[in-house]
Amino acid sequence: MAKMVCVGCGFVYDEEQGRKEENIAAGTKWDNVPEDWCCPVSGDPKELFEPLENSVWLARGGVGSIHSEASELQGETKKIMEDRAKKIKETGSS
C-alpha cells in the first residue's frame, strides 16, 4: 500500500486508509482515486501528489511541518526521507 503526498501542503493520502470523508474506501489504490479528486486541505489536484517514498519535495523539507494525517510517519518512512535528503544533498539537484 502506497502513500501519496501533496506537494501543495504536505497532506498524505494513504491507500490503506482511503478517505472516508470523500467516500474513497480504505484500500483504494491511488490509480483508482477519481481524477477529479483534490487535496482536501489545499485543493491541489492529483497531479501535484508525489509518492511519499520518492518525494523530492518532502526530502527537501516540504512545507516544514506536515499535517496531522502524516503524524504517524516514523521509523522506516522517516528513514527513507532522510536517506533521500542525503542523496539529494550529495548529488545536488537534477
What residues make contact with Zn ion under the rule CB under 5 A? 6, 8-9, 11, 39, 41-42, 44
Which residue's entry shows cell 472516508? 20
Shortest spacing between CB 76 and Zn ion, in angstroms: 23
- To Zn ion, the closest distance from the beta carbon of 69 in angstroms equals 10
**Measured between alpha carbons, how far is 46 from 84 in angstroms, rounded to an integer?**
22
Nearer to Zn ion, 11 or 58 (CB): 11
Q: Residue 18 and residue 29: Cα distance in Å, rounded?
A: 8
In the complex with Zn ion, the residue whose CB is nearer, 27 or 45, is 45
